[in-house]
């Protein structure tokens, strides 16, 4: 059973508030996660259940795999997401389900 998008709203709001308190970079990261969650819940959740992400034979086996699958499926569904949207959804999924190690970025 999937939960409606509204059940995630308090956690997303808290992440945004905590991110804003930590500084501009953290606030942007929180906003990106929130956007990723919104895009996923708007366009993907109807076909994807939690079990999809927890199954043993999942296709995405690392961070690059998560990002590649998000890119693939947004293309299959003609969503026209930007690279930033794909990254935001992939980060949301990784934070929520996978917890794969992310690449270190300069900054």
CA distance 34 to 13: 8
pLDDT tens digits for range 25-62: 888 889 989 999 999 999 988 777 665 666 566 788 99
pLDDT tens digits, one per residue of 8-23: 555 555 555 554 556 8
Mean pLDDT within 3-11: 49
Only one residue has tokens 């508030």, namely 17
Q: Give the pLDDT mean for 90-98.
A: 92
pTM of the complete model: 0.71
Interatomic CA distance for residues 1 and 49, integer angstroms: 7
pLDDT of residue 6: 47
User: If 0-12 CB within 10 Å is exposed, 13-18 middle and 19+ buried, where does residue 31 land?
Assistant: middle
Coil, strand or helix: which one is 33? Answer: helix
């Amino acid at each position: 059973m999937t939960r409606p998008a509204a059940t995630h709203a308090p956690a997303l709001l808290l992440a945004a508030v905590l991110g804003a308190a930590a500084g501009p970079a953290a606030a942007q990261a929180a906003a990106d996660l929130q956007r990723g969650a919104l895009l996923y819940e708007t366009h993907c959740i109807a076909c994807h259940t939690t079990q999809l992400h927890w199954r043993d034979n999942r296709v995405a086996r690392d961070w690059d795999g998560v990002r590649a699958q998000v890119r693939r499926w947004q293309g299959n569904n003609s969503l026209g997401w930007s690279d930033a949207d794909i990254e935001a959804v992939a980060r949301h999924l990784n934070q929520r389900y996978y917890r794969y190690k992310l690449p270190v970025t300069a900054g």
